[in-house]
Amino acid sequence: MASHIVGYPRMGPKRELKFALESFWDKKSSAEDLQKVASDLRASIWKQMADAGIKYIPCNTFSYYDQVLDATAMLGAVPPRYGWSGGEIGFDTYFSMARGNASLPAMEMTKWFDTNYHFIVPELGPDVNFCYASHKAVHEYKEAKALGVDTVPVLVGPVSYLLLSKPAKGVDKSFSLLSLLPKVLAVYKEVVDDLKAAGASWIQFDEPTLVTDLDSHQLQAFTAAYSDLASNLSGLNVLVETYFADIPAEAFKTLTCLGGVTAFGFDLIRGTKTLDLIKGGFPSGKYLFAGVVDGRNIWANDLACSLNTLNALEGIVGKDKLVVSTSCSLLHTAVDLVNETKLDNEIKSWLAFAAQKIVEVNALANAMCGKKDEAFFSSNASALASRKSSPRVTNEGVQKAAAALKGSDHRRATNVSTRLDAQQKKLNLPVLPTTTIGSFPQTVELRRVRREYKANKISEEEYVKSITEEIRKVVVLQEELDIDVMVHGEPERNDMVEYFGEQLSGFAFTVNGWVQSYGSRCVKPPIIYGDVSRPKPMTVFWSSTAQGMTKRPMKGMLTGPVTILNWSFVRNDQPRSETCYQIALAIKDEVEDLEKAAITVIQIDEAALREGLPLRKSEQAHYLDWAVHSFRITNVGVQDTTQIHTHMCYSNFNDIIHSIIDMDADVITIENSRSDEKLLSVFREGVKYGAGIGPGVYDIHSPRIPSTEEMAERINKMLAVLETNILWVNPDCGLKTRKYTEVKPALENMVAATKVIRNHLGK
């Protein structure tokens, strides 16, 4: 039986691509240097899979930023503002679309389905002249072939590409993006012909939108697309891959009836109901790529259970048509457990990173062929039993506290309008108060201090002195800038989730468990293996230290329970809601300790609340109920005069605005500028929002520094739909990824713009 990997992490085991990208962006290395690092990583990945015995090895899953942007480049769908005049798209145009440049903003960035990975949203309209402008797919196929590795080129499917796009600025919002399908398919035909000529025998189209709620017109687009491509695909084996959820019955029917398609891939980890559809009728003679190894979590596979599933599927499709696969790309997992030399041995035995998942896939394929590795399966069973019985997983006190939450909706005693009045009397803020989201630039020196402290190369006293001095610099800068509600800059934190997880029980941490979030940005998700509690205060010392340096309000900065959950590798032995409630109780303890320490503004970030929303509408209400409830638990006990902020970013919030209101925060800061102020449309449509709100006035993920006039214009647009007394002024997100040479002038312009508008309002 054959084996297949949907996709693989790109950054490298020690983030080699990240450092190469940043060196190139900083003009410290050449394009050739960057390409050499990328080529070496690809070669290593292909060899690793080939050596492990994987038959269907993916190529063109490598990207310098993201696979949707790669598809945009392939199609030549460059927005006119970037000045591309034709020819093969190079790094200048590619990275300008992704990151912006000195004079132009970047394209919108949003979450890839319900993951923490991001993609650049295509901007399309009737006047786009699609053309074959990036030959990356065929170049990488040839590159692998020259190394003696036969691969399966992977393309973002044409229909999913259009469904993930948006109408360009100036194009009517009602414009049908699917009307562009014939033009897009003309380019896909050229790409397919190129790949056939290069010797490809298989091609994989990723069509993950098939797992979402699609109407009949959208489903018909899949039928039309693959029918149109059929003659070009003739002679190729064609795999259409889906992932991240159950595929609806109508979509399953549409997919399995597509002409010219020889194989179908399904996520059987998050799509367990799909098994019933397969058992109810799978087309004869077609391949089934069974995603039984989890591509989104780091727990070792239950090999015996997967083997039972595969045996059942073999009875339906036949041994020669069944392929063992991952549930989705391994992009969403850490790279290799071998690099974790400091991880607890017992917990390590429970885990499998991308490299280990490749071995699991092949072991299952071999077992199905009668070549079962008994020692490997026995070791796996022992690890699963160890995890199930380990006393470190269960904390009876935590479970009782979480169970006691049932029966209350945990709302603050007074309404938000009354609370805002009480807070204003205490804080005495000006109209349009300014603030930032939390983090300030993470300098090389700051990273060195944290690294040396973790390695015991400097004392705790030296560490505290260095971090305190960094906080002082940030406080002085904000006072010079005249920012109203301040932050301490989070110099003690490398990552907002990792920082809290390190101080909570039930979490484990890696050294090199990096996962790509977007571009060169990597995160190191903590591993939640057991019941969660807070042994001692986590942020009170630093918040109190910072507040002691200024008379202005200093925000206490916390990460909310839903974001900690969604940005971690979460235990899979209990419902996610139960784990979230446990985290909420831990954060509640911290909120109340901050209040006792005289911190009057406390921000509880829920940047990932929208990200965890299930892809199917039928499942969304249940998630929003426990997610919003978890947030309210964290601050239910504070006084009316304590102002609770939250922050959200880089998702589409319009469809959950009523749940956001139900969170009952006093102030919400929310990404707005990079998404073309899409958020404001919900208020134009009549949604009433009575709490404080700060839609971001500039994009922090671009090095571009917007002018005072540009930000003043954004503020005026906000005032057209929001009341003056609830509007705050702030960037889209935290500033840690930027440099001080970018941050200082941008914030100067932001404050200046605010003062211009205040003066205008005063007159």
> Do 470 and 491 form a contact (C-beta atoms < 8 A)?
yes
pLDDT at 700 over 90: no
Q: Is residue 701 annotated as part of the catalytic site, yes or no? A: yes
The answer to the question of whether 84 is labelled as a binding residue is no
Q: Which domains does the chain have, with CATH numbers?
A: 2-389 (3.20.20.210), 414-762 (3.20.20.210)
**pLDDT at 685 (0 to 100):** 76
Beta bridge partners of residue 695, listed in sequence order = 670
H or E segment at 669?
A: strand 667-670
Average pLDDT of span 265-293: 96
3-state secondary structure 238-294: EEEECCCCCCCHHHHHHHHCCCCCCEEEEECCCCCCHHHHHHHCCCCCCEEEEEEEC
pLDDT at 675 over 80: no
In the chain, pLDDT over 90 holds for what percent of residues? 88
pLDDT at 681 over 70: yes
Tell me which of 217, 645, 701, 760 is the catalytic residue: 701
Q: What is the mean pLDDT of the chain?
A: 95
Residue carrying structure tokens 């971690």? 568
The answer to the question of whether 437 is labelled as a binding residue is yes
pLDDT at 652 over 80: no
Each residue of 332-379: pLDDT tens digit?
Answer: 999 999 999 889 999 999 999 999 999 999 999 999 999 999 999 999
**Residue 168 has what DSSP assignment?**
P
Q: What's the rounded Cα separation, in Å, for the pair 58 and 202?
A: 10
> Side chain identity at 713, as an amino acid letter?
E
The answer to the question of whether 658 is labelled as a binding residue is yes
Q: What's the rounded Cα separation, in Å, for the pair 650 and 47?
A: 36
Q: What's the rounded Cα separation, in Å, for the pair 296 and 553?
A: 40
719 three-class SS = helix
The answer to the question of whether 344 is labelled as a binding residue is no
Of 501, 745, 518, 543, the closest CA to residue 642 belongs to 543
Q: pLDDT grade, residue 654 (50/70/90)?
A: confident
710-717's contacts with Cβ under 8 Å and 24+ in sequence apart are: 711/749, 711/750, 711/753, 712/753, 712/756, 712/757, 714/672, 714/673, 714/677, 714/753, 715/432, 715/753, 715/754, 715/757, 716/757, 717/677, 717/680
Average pLDDT of span 31-41: 97
The answer to the question of whether 257 is labelled as a binding residue is no
Each residue of 142-189: pLDDT tens digit?
Answer: 999 999 999 999 999 999 999 999 999 999 989 999 999 999 999 999
Pairing assessment for the beta strands 237-241 and 202-206 based on DSSP bridges:
parallel
The answer to the question of whether 284 is labelled as a binding residue is no
- With 0-12 CB in 10 A as exposed, 13-18 as middle and 19+ as buried, what is 101? middle
> Do 332 and 115 form a contact (C-beta atoms < 8 A)?
yes
The answer to the question of whether 531 is labelled as a binding residue is no
The answer to the question of whether 489 is labelled as a binding residue is no
Lowest mean pLDDT among 28-32, 673-677, 753-757: 673-677
- With 0-12 CB in 10 A as exposed, 13-18 as middle and 19+ as buried, what is 200? buried
> How many CB atoms sit inside 10 A of residue 393's CB?
17
Token pair, residue 274, equals 């799909």
Residue carrying structure tokens 């007159």? 763
**pLDDT at 701 (0 to 100):** 80
**pLDDT at 650 (0 to 100):** 58
The answer to the question of whether 60 is labelled as a binding residue is no
Q: What's the rounded Cα separation, in Å, for the pair 21 and 19?
A: 5
DSSP codes of every residue in 568-630? SEE-SSS-HHHHHHHHHHHHHHHHHHHHHTT--EEEEE-TTTTTTS-SSGGGHHHHHHHHHHH
